[in-house]
C-alpha cells in the first residue's frame, strides 16, 4: 500500500500543476470579452474574474463524480488499476495542455480530461479482457459507454448551440442598438440589460445551485419550486437598478453588464472545469481511502467509488485560490488570449494565419449564399438592415494608453451572457461541457453579424478558426492514444513507470517553458514596434526615427550574415540569416497594419504626414521582402549541396556588401543626428552602387559566355545582385518619404 500512497501523492501534486496549466489555457474564456472591449483595466478584470472563480468552485462539487465514475466502471477495477487510469489521464492532460499553451492555441481542458480518462480506461480494459480470454464485447462492462456518449454528444451540441445562439442574439442586439448604441441604450438599454442579467441569474444561481457544496436540500427545493417568481423578481430588480443608473448617475450600464458577465463566466468556468484539474487526484485519494477499509485492499474491486460523494468546500476553495494565483502570474494565459482576440477583432490589420484551401472555399460559399439571399429579400428590408449595421458609425474610444478596443461593449456583453448560460446549464446537468469550445465559438459567431470578417480579412480569420478547431480534434485523438499507451506501460512497469513518466513530464514542461520564453520575447519585440493609434504627427516622427534605425541595422546584419554564409559555405550562418529575415519581414507587415490604424483615426491636418509615413513603411516592407528572398535562395542553394562560389564571385559580393553597409550606415547616422540634409548625400552613393552592380552583372555575363559557371550558381549570383540593388532603391524611397514627412511635421 505504500507504493499506492506514493502514486496518490503524485496525483495530488499533478492536480496542483494541472490547475496552473489548465487555467493558463482557459483564462481566455472569461477574460477576453473584458480585455478585448477594454471595459476596464486588465488588473480590474482579473479581480472580477477572481471573485467569480472563488464563488464558482463551491458550485463544482457535483461535477467531481465525473472523474470517479463518469467514464469507467470502478467495480471492475482494483486500486492499482484505478490509480494507473487516473495517473495516465492527468499526465497526458498536463503535457497536452502545456503544448497548446506554449503555442498560444486555446483548447479544451474538458475534452483532454474526458478523452484521457476514456483512453486510459480503454487501454486497461483491453489488457484485462485479453488476460481473462474474453471478447471485445465485454468492453461495455468496463467503460460507462452511456455516460461517454452523453458527454461527447453534449460537447458537440454545445458547439452548435453556441454558434446559433451567439449569432442570433448578437444579430438582433445589433439590429436593436446599431453601432451607435449610446442614445438607444438610454431608451431601452435597461430592459435589455435586465434580460441579460436575469439570464445569467437563472442559469448560474438557480441551475448551478444543485451542485453547490454548501447548498442544503431544502434550499435547492425552494429555489426549484419558486423558479418563476425568482425570475420575475430578478428581471424587475435588474431593470429598475439599471434604469436608475442610466438616468440619475449617467452610468454606462454596458460596462456593468460586461463586468457582471465576466464574473458569471469565471464562476461558470470554475464550477464546470474544476473537475478537469482536481477530479482525478481527488478520485485517487478517495479510492485509496476506500481500499484501506476493505479486507483485501490490494485485490478487491472498488465498487464503493460509485457512491455519491460531495467534495470538501475547503478543498474547493484552496483549488480556487491556486486558480486565482495562476491568473496573475501565468504568462502563457496572455499568449492564448492573444489568439482569440485577434480572430474576433472589429478592425482589419495584420493577420496571424495564412489562407488555406478550405478557408477560401468556405468564404466563397458564404459570399455566394449571401448574394443569393439578397436576390430574395426585398430591397427596402436590405436597406433598413444595412442602416442598422452601418460599421462606419463604429467610433471606438481609446483607453488611457491610447489603444483602441478590438470590439465594443455590445458584443462583449453578448459573448459573456450566451457563454455563461450554456456552460451553467451544462453544469446543472452534470455534463462537463467544453468551456473553451463554447466561449470561442460564441466569440467567433458574434463577430459575423458585426462584419468583423470583411473580404479583406475573412479568409485569414476562417483559417485561424479552422486551425483552432483542428487543434481540438487533435486534442481528443491524442488524449485517447497517449493516455491508453501510458496506462498500458504503467500497468506492466508499476511504480517505476509512474515515476518515469512523472520525471519525463517535469522535463518536458521545463523545456516548453524555455521555448515559450523565447517565443514571448520575440512577440514582445514585435509589440514594441506598435505605434498607438492616437499618436500625433510629432510622436509618429520620433517613433519613425527609432524604428528605421533599428530596422536598417537588423537588415544590414542579416544580409551580412547571409553573405558570410555564402563565402564560407556555412549552413548555420545561412539559416540564421534566413530566420532573421523572416522576423524582419513579419515586423514590417505589422508596421504596415499599424499604419492603417493611424490613418483611420488621424486628424485631417495629419493626413499628409500619414501619407509620407505609409510610403516609408511600404518601401521598408519591400526592402525586407528582398532580404527574405536573398537569404532563402542562398540557404536553399547550399542546403542542396551545390557548388561553392568562385573566388572572383566572392570578392565581388564582398565589395557589394561593403558598399551596401556603407549606404545603410550613412542613413543610420543621419537619422540618429536628425540631419535630414545628409540623406541627400546618399543619392550619390546609390548611383555609385548602381554602377558597381552593373559592372559585376557584366562580369558575370562574360563568365557565363565562357561557360565557366553552371546555371544555378549564375542565377543565384545575379539574383543576389538584383535584390541587393532593389534594397538600395527602396532605401532611397524611404529617405525621400521621410524628408517629406519631416517637412510636413515642421509645417
Three-state SS for 426-460 is HHHCCCCCCHHHHHHHHHHHHHCCCCCCCCCCHHH
DSSP class of 569: T
Alpha carbon dihedral 475, 476, 481, 485, in 10-degree steps, equals 80
- pLDDT confidence of residue 46: 86
- pLDDT confidence of residue 591: 64
* Rounded alpha-carbon distances, angstroms, from residue 76 to 143, 279, 583: 9, 20, 56
Long-range contacts of 595-603 (CB under 8 A, 24+ apart): 596/348, 596/349, 597/347, 597/349, 597/404, 597/533, 598/531, 598/533, 598/535, 598/540, 600/347, 600/533, 601/404, 601/533, 601/534
Which regions in the chain score pLDDT beneath 70?
1, 28, 60-70, 203-216, 272, 275, 303-311, 332, 348-352, 400-402, 424, 427-432, 519-520, 522-541, 544, 590-615, 676-680, 707-709, 740-747
Contact 715, 706 (CB under 8 A): no
- pLDDT confidence of residue 488: 93
- pLDDT confidence of residue 72: 79
Closest C-alpha among 436, 410, 411 to residue 423: 436
Quickly count: other Cβ atoms within 10 Å of residue 301's Cβ. Answer: 17
Q: Which part of the chain has CATH 1.20.58.220?
A: 526-746
DSSP class of 62: G
Closest C-alpha among 415, 419, 265 to residue 343: 415
Q: Which CATH number fits domain 526-746: 1.20.58.220, 3.30.465.10, 3.40.50.720, 1.10.220.110?
A: 1.20.58.220
pLDDT, tens only, 278-290: 878 888 888 888 8
- pLDDT confidence of residue 171: 92
- pLDDT confidence of residue 531: 56
Place of cell 526592402: 623
Alpha carbon of residue 468 to chain centroid: 8
Q: Degrees (nearest 5) of the Cα angle 250, 254, 257?
A: 120
Q: Which residues of 671-693 are buried (b: 16+ CB within 10 A; e: fewer)?
A: beeeebeebeebeebbeebeebb
Contact 321, 45 (CB under 8 A): no
Q: 318 by DSSP, 3-state: which? A: helix
Alpha carbon of residue 143 to chain centroid: 34
- pLDDT confidence of residue 600: 53
Pairwise CA distance, residues 512 & 503, whole Å: 14
Q: 78 by DSSP, 3-state: which? A: strand
Amino acid at each position: 500500500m505504500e507504493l499506492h500512497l506514493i502514486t496518490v501523492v503524485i496525483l495530488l501534486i499533478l492536480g496542483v500543476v494541472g490547475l496552473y496549466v489548465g487555467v493558463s489555457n482557459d483564462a481566455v474564456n472569461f477574460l477576453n470579452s473584458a480585455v478585448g472591449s477594454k471595459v476596464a483595466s486588465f488588473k480590474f478584470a482579473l479581480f472580477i474574474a477572481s471573485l467569480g472563480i472563488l464563488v464558482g468552485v463551491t458550485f463544482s462539487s457535483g461535477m467531481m463524480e465525473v472523474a470517479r465514475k463518469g467514464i469507467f466502471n470502478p467495480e471492475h477495477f482494483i486500486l492499482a488499476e484505478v490509480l494507473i487510469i487516473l495517473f495516465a489521464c492527468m499526465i497526458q492532460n498536463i503535457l497536452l495542455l502545456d503544448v497548446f499553451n506554449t503555442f498560444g492555441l486555446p483548447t479544451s481542458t474538458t475534452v483532454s480530461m474526458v478523452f484521457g480518462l476514456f483512453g486510459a480506461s480503454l487501454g486497461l480494459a483491453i489488457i484485462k479482457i485479453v488476460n481473462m480470454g474474453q471478447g471485445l464485447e465485454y468492453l461495455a462492462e468496463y467503460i460507462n459507454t452511456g455516460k461517454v456518449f452523453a458527454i461527447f454528444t453534449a460537447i458537440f451540441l454545445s458547439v452548435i448551440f453556441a454558434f446559433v445562439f451567439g449569432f442570433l442574439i448578437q444579430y438582433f442586439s445589433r439590429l436593436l442598438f446599431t453601432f451607435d448604441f449610446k442614445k438607444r441604450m438610454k431608451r431601452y438599454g435597461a430592459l435589455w440589460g435586465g434580460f441579460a442579467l436575469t439570464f445569467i441569474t437563472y442559469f448560474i444561481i438557480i441551475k448551478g445551485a444543485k451542485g453547490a457544496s454548501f447548498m442544503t436540500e431544502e434550499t435547492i427545493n425552494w429555489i426549484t419550486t419558486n423558479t418563476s417568481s425568482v425570475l420575475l423578481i430578478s428581471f424587475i430588480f435588474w431593470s429598475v437598478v439599471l434604469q436608475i443608473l442610466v438616468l440619475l448617475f449617467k452610468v454606462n450600464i454596458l460596462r456593468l453588464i460586461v463586468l457582471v458577465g465576466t464574473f458569471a463566466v469565471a464562476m461558470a468556468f470554475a464550477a464546470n472545469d474544476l473537475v478537469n484539474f482536481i477530479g482525478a487526484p481527488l478520485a485517487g485519494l478517495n479510492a485509496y481511502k476506500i481500499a484501506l477499509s476493505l479486507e483485501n485492499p490490494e485485490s478487491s474491486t472498488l465498487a464503493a467509488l460509485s457512491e455519491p460523494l460531495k467534495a470538501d468546500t475547503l478543498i474547493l476553495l484552496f483549488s480556487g485560490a491556486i486558480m486565482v494565483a495562476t491568473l496573475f502570474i501565468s504568462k502563457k494565459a496572455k499568449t492564448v488570449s492573444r489568439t482569440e482576440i485577434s480572430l474576433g477583432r472589429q478592425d482589419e490589420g495584420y493577420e496571424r494565419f495564412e489562407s488555406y484551401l478550405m478557408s477560401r472555399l468556405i468564404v466563397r460559399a458564404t459570399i455566394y449564399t449571401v448574394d443569393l439571399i439578397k436576390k430574395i429579400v426585398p430591397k427596402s428590408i436590405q436597406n433598413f438592415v444595412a442602416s442598422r449595421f452601418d460599421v462606419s458609425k463604429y467610433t471606438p474610444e481609446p483607453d488611457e494608453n491610447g489603444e483602441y478596443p478590438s470590439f465594443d461593449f455590445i458584443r462583449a456583453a453578448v459573448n459573456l451572457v450566451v457563454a455563461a448560460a450554456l456552460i451553467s446549464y451544462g453544469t446543472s446537468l452534470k455534463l462537463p461541457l467544453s468551456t473553451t469550445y463554447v466561449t470561442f465559438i460564441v466569440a467567433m459567431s458574434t463577430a459575423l453579424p458585426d462584419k468583423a470578417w470583411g473580404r479583406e480579412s475573412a479568409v485569414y480569420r476562417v483559417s485561424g478558426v479552422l486551425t483552432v478547431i483542428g487543434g481540438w480534434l487533435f486534442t481528443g485523438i491524442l488524449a485517447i492514444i497517449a493516455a491508453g499507451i501510458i496506462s498500458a506501460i504503467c500497468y506492466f512497469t508499476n511504480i517505476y513507470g509512474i515515476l518515469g513518466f512523472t520525471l519525463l513530464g517535469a522535463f518536458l514542461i521545463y523545456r516548453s517553458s524555455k521555448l515559450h520564453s523565447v517565443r514571448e520575447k520575440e512577440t514582445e519585440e514585435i509589440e514594441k514596434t506598435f505605434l498607438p493609434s492616437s499618436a500625433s504627427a510629432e510622436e509618429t516622427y520620433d517613433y519613425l526615427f527609432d524604428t528605421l534605425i533599428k530596422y536598417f541595422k537588423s537588415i544590414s546584419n542579416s544580409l551580412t550574415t547571409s553573405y558570410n554564409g555564402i563565402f564560407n559555405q556555412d549552413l548555420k550562418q545561412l539559416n540564421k540569416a534566413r530566420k532573421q529575415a523572416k522576423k524582419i519581414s513579419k515586423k514590417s507587415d505589422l508596421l504596415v497594419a499599424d499604419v492603417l490604424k493611424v490613418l483611420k483615426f488621424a486628424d485631417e491636418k495629419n493626413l499628409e504626414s500619414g501619407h509620407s509615413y505609409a510610403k516609408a513603411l511600404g518601401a521598408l516592407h519591400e526592402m525586407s521582402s528582398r532580404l527574405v528572398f536573398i537569404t532563402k535562395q542562398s540557404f536553399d542553394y547550399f542546403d542542396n549541396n551545390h557548388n561553392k562560389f568562385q573566388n572572383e564571385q566572392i570578392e565581388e559580393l564582398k565589395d557589394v556588401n561593403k558598399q551596401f553597409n556603407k549606404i545603410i550606415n550613412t542613413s543610420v547616422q543621419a537619422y540618429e543626428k536628425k540631419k535630414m540634409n545628409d540623406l541627400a548625400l546618399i543619392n550619390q552613393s546609390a548611383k555609385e552602387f548602381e554602377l558597381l552592380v552593373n559592372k559585376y552583372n557584366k562580369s558575370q555575363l562574360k563568365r557565363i559566355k565562357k561557360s565557366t559557371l553552371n546555371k544555378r550558381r549564375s542565377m543565384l549570383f545575379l539574383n543576389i545582385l538584383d535584390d541587393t540593388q532593389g534594397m538600395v532603391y527602396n532605401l532611397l524611397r524611404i529617405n525621400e518619404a521621410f524628408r517629406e514627412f519631416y517637412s510636413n511635421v515642421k509645417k
